[in-house]
Structure 1
């Protein structure tokens, strides 16, 4: 029996690991548990387990510090890293110190764990691999190809020797890379539970591997939740053109299936042919770096090696200065106060145009957008508007980090401004409303998702339905039902915008329509197109 130590400060995570399988059936036994890095180190000194499952984020000693201490002790222990977030630099440090592999907690399952544990049993010769299943072999191959790509080989490990020992499906001298990143990944998983995220990842992995199997020279490697790499072995390919066509055929199928089944796009960075195995990690790093061009180029982009960096369009002259000081704040406040939507739109688009022209570093551009959002928050506060409701998210400033392109951020900022102008205009109108109408509007705004009616509102306001109907139409120019439908459709439009995986039927239910066909009819009568057509246009 191989002994396994679990080191994780999360009690539920330790319980999940214990119960994920009957360990003894697979030749393992759990020798102990530790709730922090120091406890783990004490148990390691006492027990010397064969394998340690180590969480990255622990008190007293974190995962990296624990692995560093273990390395100093020079004990023959295989370390597998557990990470609850996608901070790859943190995981990278642990692997440089000798960790065998890493598992993201969001993806932890019996099959993956067994595959990773089997890597800890590989030993140094071919005989130790006898008895492993084909799936085990794939896990082992993925592990070592990933190490080569990320430059995580231990001292003394040679890429060429690893290719021979583990029959890695890459070439020793000629390889082409395609580094791929799922667009809008964080927005897609934002509302999924743990089971949903796991199923989502499994399905994506299936799509990638199924497409790659059709070209034996291509090997897919998962790098992290939203990033994959296709490695094309060019040992038997005579020309660059043929290599590119093979790579593009697989990428075309993957892009098509991602769009068809998940309504998601991917951005891709394709390298030239790398002629040295020792330079492969550098080729990967540069391909990954080129993906940052997506911020300006937009999603669903295919970026080639010639696009080494996004050019600065100022041509090396005076750098464009963009800031949001007192004067800009006054100007925007004035535009809001007079309800000049077109002037406000022009001002914001001009700001983003300056950003696009200056092509600042992505981090600098995001900082400027946070400043702009701060100005809008000030304006909202002065106008008595709820800033979080305007942004339709609890942490608006965090959202700036989640949108992946400058254009996405521009559209989001414009939507917030439109809603703020609408609220301001509505508030001005309501100054002349009868108090009864104001309360009825409040009732609709807070209950539109339920099956409410004029009689429900009248009962809530303790007046007769006929009296409320007359007052309400006199103030708003609309009867109660039409106003309610307008509110519901406005909410539905917001949900259809920027939500790539939302189902239209679920949006209909969430906005108070129990009948999909009725929702469809009302939406088309108000917007002028069907929900499907609207979603397509926004997409």
Structure 2
């Protein structure tokens, strides 16, 4: 809809112009009139107009002066002059200033006015088409330049070197201060599961386009299935704020969380260092949490770029003892967390070590089934140390949970004992007795006792106590329940007997055990 401003100090002329044209049908609107040039300039300043129809002779500010000032301020404005025969000299001056045409008041009619208005619209459309073409041309040229720069940067990263002779492609801003930023989409695996990997790739492309729309200079390129590498000028040292602002806008627009690491570099020869430093800074999300903006600490941030086996550098004996003693798996996972939280290793090294620990426990633990590679993938996919710790607990609990002991005979008697063991495992916190379990498998109590020991290598009561002590350890380490309540929940009806048996089995009283494994918790009795 093209907006038309009518300026004439004679209301009858303004009314006539309004009545001549079906404005809406012709794609125009003429909702505002002015009586002189001063009112017209004020109206032009208030809101944009495309076409100005103005009388020449008016009080305060005449039409010629209005045209001169209006076109100086709004060069794209199209002007139609309304004049009398005696105004011809003024008409010539108005046409020189840039008016499209003039119409005589005495012969003014609908067809002539509409023809000039349509000519004005054609001129506006042609100018806008040319402006759009120029904008597209500039955008295409900028796009091609940016894509060319992207390819060269990718080549530098892939080859891990920058040939000085081939650095002619580098734009001028790369020779000054610039920011290297490595961005990782948090929860990318879950996002892909919910939306598909194709949509994940499209999301990275959307982030790239968003970056280009926000910054007139710079380069952005996806470098992994969930990562983007950005470079952009930092002439005033304020680009960190711009990065933070763009990150927040993108997170809000797409409902995502982004972790970002960045470093300030200067000169095209520092691109590779900037890439590795910003990537290592971004990986601090593994230790410090997702969604942060992490600045590289210095040249040492790039660190070791290849995975090294930390075997022998760390003493994992306490970890294995916790597992062997039947202590809660969470305690072993807490021990591992304390070894890793310093950040001395890269996230990949930590995850590699976690996989090795789980594999070794699986090999050593009697009765554990085969460890599927998919289960270790859960450790490798952990984005934070807390997530890795949680997955480690789940995996180890599956491996070292109470298992059916190896039996000496897998025949009929062995099947009876397996049935009994399964029942004990499910009900060991209940008031089980040798007789009650023997009744379950329909055997004489004495015969069941002999058969149980022959098949498992231990007697019924010792096996039952072992399961109950294991549950008591878990409750003591993971809850603030009173010792009396822990005893009952683990299947011990007498707290004194429980405390005595616990001390005999573990070497600690229940209170000492809790203090050892929950030092930050309040004392319980």
* Common topology (TM > 0.5): no
Question: Aligning the two structures, in what range does the TM-score lie when normalised by the shorter sequence?
Answer: 0.3 to 0.5
Q: Given the two structures, how large is their TM-score scaled by the length of structure 1?
A: 0.41
* Higher-Rg member (1/2): 2
